[in-house]
Amino acid sequence: MESIQATKQRFGIIGNDPKLNRAVEKAIQVAPTDISVLVTGESGVGKESIPKIIHSLSHRKHGKYIAVNCGAIPEGTIDSELFGHEKGSFTGATATRSGYFEVADGGTIFLDEVGELPLPTQVRLLRVLENGEFLKVGSSVAQKTDVRIVAATNVKMVDAIEKGKFREDLYYRLSTVEINLPPLRERQEDIHLLFRKFAADFAQKYKMPTIRLTDQATDLLLQYRWSGNVRQLRNVAEQISVLEQNRDISYETLKHYLPDMGGNLPAIVNAKKAESDFSSEREILYKVLFDMKRDVNDLKKLTLELMKTGNNAKVKEEQSSLINKIYSDESETEEALASIIEDGNNGSESNVEVFSIPEHTTDQRKAKYEYAEEIEEEENLSLQQKELELIKKSLEKYNGKRKDAADELGISERTLYRKIKQYDL
């Protein structure tokens, strides 16, 4: 059996991390068999090296090795690519075509990004794994194939299964042996080693002196998260090799090539989301202003009615109804305003216009509440007691489930939560 170190040298795998060595060791051990292998790990960790090791050390090494990126093939043509099609089976099928499973008979197929396969294709693949049979598109005659499948994915398969995006039975057939490659941030001792190797390769490629990192720059290199893993590290090494005149790379220079470290790389902004958030918050602010204007006008009408008719009982009845309505509406709009203001204070990046409410409007609202409290002090006290009783009964009825209780009371869950805090329930 070939040693781990010899295999890494043969396939250009750099690093001495124990997790990486274990992955290579498992690939060596499983290679002589025909069982299916699933390679997992984040994007950019180098999953494509494992199926090459498995194929090269297996008895199929003289057969074909075909790598298929399942995420890059359109859903409408992937069945034809994998299994072939008969002439006339669909528009544009002017001739019979052999698929990868027919061409690679006796060899190995590497299905990269297998988590992106459509569900109908997953059913066809499961049949191949179970009995080695497949059907060409447009054919009713089953064909046999002797192909070893090595798959890879950066998708969390358990989550994909729970969401109905991947078949559970296919997952267990593919993952007879699972090999996980660790992310670069968990291979800290390998980061500088990889960077130096990439820097030497690009110096040779572009015929220029090799770049070198200062001690501070090396510390930054090791501390960075490397969300793009080895692929990102390689790209950074290439950029610096090509763009920097000074071959001694300082901390500040390296920092400019690392996203989220104050660099000069453009940030990606979700314009649609920002526009949507801005529109929604602007509508809330407009609604607040219009409701305030309507409430002030209603109070003016009531005051005019009192001056004209002197019917205090009727005015009080209408005013009580109006005040309760204002109280309910304002609680919702004030919460919405508080949320928007809080976002602004926390440094929210969405492009939201700031509306300032005139001081005289604030004074009107203050006067409105003071006037309401003087007239309806006794009624409000009674309403609060009834409100407290209703909230208690609803919460008891639904065993403390705020959403159900809020639906029965006809208020939002957020308002109910505020009421619970207000009454210390």
- Apex 144 CA angle, 141 and 148, nearest 5: 145
Least confident of 157-161, 274-278, 384-388, 402-406: 274-278
Tell me the average pLDDT of the chain: 82
> Who wins on pLDDT, 294 or 102?
102
| Biggest distance spanned by C-alpha atoms of the chain | 105
Which amino acid type is present at position 149? I
What's this model's pTM, rounded to 2 decimal places? Answer: 0.61
Who's near 74: CB < 8 A, 6+ residues apart? none
pLDDT (tens digit, 9 = 90+) per residue, 47-106? 999 999 999 999 999 999 999 999 999 988 999 999 999 999 888 889 999 999 999 999
**pLDDT recorded at residue 397:** 83
DSSP 1-41: ---HHHHHHHTT-----HHHHHHHHHHHHHTTS---EEEE-
Q: What is the pLDDT, as a whole number, of residue 229?
A: 96
Confidence of residue 139 (pLDDT cuts 50, 70, 90): very high
pLDDT of amino acid 268: 44
Whether the predicted pLDDT of 295 surpasses 50: yes
Residue 295, phi then psi, degrees to nearest 5: -65, -40
pLDDT of residue 278: 52
Task: In whole angstroms, give the CA distance from residue 398 to residue 408.
Answer: 10
Report domain extents, the chain: 4-182, 185-255, 271-423
Q: Give the pLDDT of residue 91.
A: 86
pLDDT at residue 135, rounded to an integer: 93
With CA atoms as reference, report the closest residue to 213 among 231, 193, 227.
193
Comparing 6 with 424, which gets the higher pLDDT?
A: 6
What is the phi/psi pair of residue 131, to 5°?
A: -135, 10
Per-residue pLDDT for 125 more than 70? Answer: yes
> For the segment 190-232, what is each residue's pLDDT rounded down to a tens digit?
999 999 999 999 999 999 999 999 999 999 999 999 999 999 9
Residue 421 has pLDDT above 90, yes or no: no
Supply the pLDDT for residue 356.
44
Please indicate whether residue 298 or residue 333 has the higher confidence score (pLDDT).
298
Q: What is the number of other CB atoms lying within 10 angstroms of the CB of residue 340?
A: 21
pLDDT at 193 (0 to 100): 96
Check residue 322 and give its pLDDT.
58
Give, for 296, the enclosing helix (H) or strand (E).
helix 271-309
Helix (H) / strand (E) element for 77: namely: none
Query: Can you identify the CATH homologous superfamily of domain 4-182?
Result: P-loop containing nucleotide triphosphate hydrolases (3.40.50.300)
Residues of the chain above pLDDT 90, percent: 58
271 pLDDT band, cuts 50/70/90, is: very low
**pLDDT, tens digit (0-9, with 9 covering 90-100), for 331-354:** 555 555 555 555 555 544 444 344
In this prediction, residue 357 carries a pLDDT of: 44
**Residue 58 phi, psi (nearest 5):** -100, 170
Q: What is the pLDDT of residue 410?
A: 79
CATH number of 185-255: 1.10.8.60
